[in-house]
Structure 1
Amino acid sequence: MERRAFYRNGTLPWLLLAPQLLLVLVFFYWPTSQALYWAFTLEQAWGGGNTWVGFANFLAIFRDSQYWATVGRSAFYAICATGLSMAIALMLAMFVDRALKGTRIFQSVFVWPYAIAAPAAGVAFRFIFSPEAGLIGSINDIWPGIWSPATNGWHALGMVIVCHAWLGIGYNFIFFLAALQMIPKSISEAGAMDGARPFQRMLDLQLPLIAPTVFFLMIMNLISSFTDSFGLIDTMTEGGPIGATEVMVYNIYIDGFKGLDYSGAAAQSIVLMVLVIALTFVQFRWVEKRVHYS
């Protein structure tokens, strides 16, 4: 039987919803409406209001080869960070999903990185990967110039990808461990009795059964890679060297706040928002419906 809550006072539900509605309107819908306004208008050279230009701002960024290079860099960043983070989290979840002494400790320890703020992690990893100090410094003493994120764009991009993947391990680990613990132990035990090794049991038995979790985390990690990388990049590389770590979200900041191209930055933000909406649509409307077991 379906149960519903009824209020004799018609204004009480709206009063209870008012704080959340106010937050959503002020911090989501209002900025979105302003971004849409700026994306379809162009500010006059000496002020005095905006002029409606339609899709001219979008056409300008789509004709810019540097923008498409940023899109490709963002896609590479998202795929690498997502794959690395999910692979390590799955491996760790497999290790602790065993009735062994000490697994409870590791189940809590592996979650801790998720509680660290991105700028703080960026500062730490910038020091860890510094070519003048630590392990990397020792390697550079043996092979000078083998690691130089300040001058080599691939080194800098790889450094940021590793940091982003490390931050996401705790989040992915929680979901993977929960999914693995939902699998009946009798399935893994039957595979072990048939002679399947742990890695083979993971590929043939466990991984297919947690496929919905894998797809969910894949979409969520891709969205995070496209939208939550600003703090890391601004702390670690500031988009350098020579724009090698400028992804879509950071390019919006560069064009809008440093280049003062508000209309172009707004158009880029709308494109990024459409991309995130598309990924979310794929997650809820397509991926989950195509997970089948035979």
Structure 2
Amino acid sequence: MERRATFRSPLLPWLLVLPQLLIIFVFFYWPTGEAFHWAFTLEQPWGGGRQWVGWQNFQEIFSSSAYWSSVRVSLFYAFGTSAVAIFIALLLALFIDREVRGSRGWGVALIWPYAIAAPAIGMIFRFVFDPRAGVFSALNALWPGAWNPALNGAHAMLMLILAGAWQLVAYNFVFFLAGLQSIPRSLTEAAAMDGAGPMRRMRDLQVPLLAPTFFFLVVINLTDSFTNSFGLVDIMTAGGPARATEIMVYKIYADGFKGLDYSGAAAQSIVLMGLVILLTVIQFRFVERKMHYR
């Protein structure tokens, strides 16, 4: 029997959802509409009006080699960060899910890092990976020049991916642990009685049953890597060296707030939004159908 909520006044439901609608409008639809308008106009750096230019801003960014470099860097960073974060979180959840001494305490400790702000994480990892004073200074003492993210783009990207993955591990861990605990214990106990060891049960039973959780976390991690990585990049590398870590969201900031190219930055933000939507649609269209069991 289907139950439906009824209200004496037709105005009451709208009043209840009005605060949420106002928040969505003020912080999403209004800024998005302004970005669309700026993307098709030429905004003066210090005010004084704007001029309609049509697709000129998009033509300029698509003809820029620096912009396509930021797209490649963003894709590499997003997929690299997501892969590392999901893999590590899955391993941690698989081990914590086992009933061993102290597993609950470790579970709580692994959730805490998600509460740390991105700039703080950037400062910590910048110090840890500093070639002169951090942990890696010992490596440079043995092999001079072996590690220098300030001059080597590959080193800087690796440092950035590890920091981004560390930030997302705690978030992924919560969902993986919840997914593992939702698997009936009778299944794992039956597999153990049939002679399957812990690794065999993880590989053939637990991990396949986590397919819906995998799909959800892939979508969230990719979206987060594209849109919420500005703090890490700004603190750790500032897009360098030689734009090796200049991801799309940081290039929008650099062009808009440093270069005062508001219209070009707005056009880039529209392209970034379209790219994130496209990746999400592709995942739901071609990947999601393979992630459920009947």
TM-score normalized by the length of structure 2? 0.93
Q: Which residue of 2 aligns with 1:33?
A: 33
CA contact (8 A) 1:121 1:163 kept: yes
Alpha carbon RMSD of aligned pairs, Å? 1.9
SS of match in other structure, 1:196: coil
Q: Report what 1:80 is aligned to.
A: 80
Is 1:197 aligned to 2:197, yes or no? yes
Q: Secondary structure at the match of 1:240?
A: coil
Q: Name the CA shift for 1:44/1:96 in 2 (closer, same or farther; >3 Å).
A: closer
**How many angstroms apart in 2 are the aligned matches of 1:45 and 1:235?**
26
Deviations 1:222-242 (A, max 9, x none): 111101100111111111112
Distance in 2 between residues matched to 1:39 and 1:156, nearest whole Å: 31
- Distance in 2, matches of 1:18 and 1:39, equals 30
Distance 1:293 1:2, change over 3 A: closer
Q: 1:119 is aligned with what amino acid?
A: P
How much has 1:283 moved relative to structure 2? Answer: 4.7
Residue in 1 that maps onto 2:280: 280
Write the mapping of 1:55-66 to structure 2, written as runs, cut at 5 A.
55-66=55-66
- Structure 1 residues 177 and 65: alpha-carbon distance in aligned structure 2, compared to 1, 3 A threshold: same
Q: How many residues align?
A: 294
Tell whether 2:289 aligns with 1:256.
Answer: no
In structure 2, list runs of 5 or more residues that go unmatched.
none
TM-score, normalised to structure 1's length? 0.93
Per the TM alignment, residue 273 of structure 1 is displaced from its structure 2 partner at its CA by 0.7
Residue in 1 aligned with 2:154?
154
> Who is 1:2 aligned against?
2
Equivalent AA in structure 1 for residue 77 of structure 2: Y
Pick which of 3-12 and 222-231 moved more: 3-12
Contact 1:119 1:231 in 2 (8 A): yes
* Alpha-carbon displacement from aligned partner over 1:41-61 (angstroms, at most 9, x marks no partner): 123689643222222211221
Greater Cα shift, 23-32 or 11-20: 11-20
- Note closer, same or farther for the CA distance 1:191–1:9 as it changes in structure 2 (3 Å cut): closer
Query: What are the superposed Cα offsets for residues 100-125 of structure 1, whole Å, 9 maximum, x if unpaired?
Result: 22111111111111111111111111
Shift of 1:292: 4.3
Secondary structure of the 2:51 match is: strand
Partner of 1:53: 53
AA of the residue aligned to 2:215: F
**Contact 1:216/1:283 (CA < 8 Å) preserved in 2?**
no
**Structure 1: gaps spanning 5 or more residues:** none
2:135 is paired with a residue whose SS is helix
Q: What is the percentage of aligned positions where both structures have the same residue?
A: 61
Amino acid at match of 1:132: R
**What is the alpha-carbon distance in structure 1 between the residues aligned to residue 12 and residue 186 of structure 2?**
51
1:137 matched to which residue of 2? 137
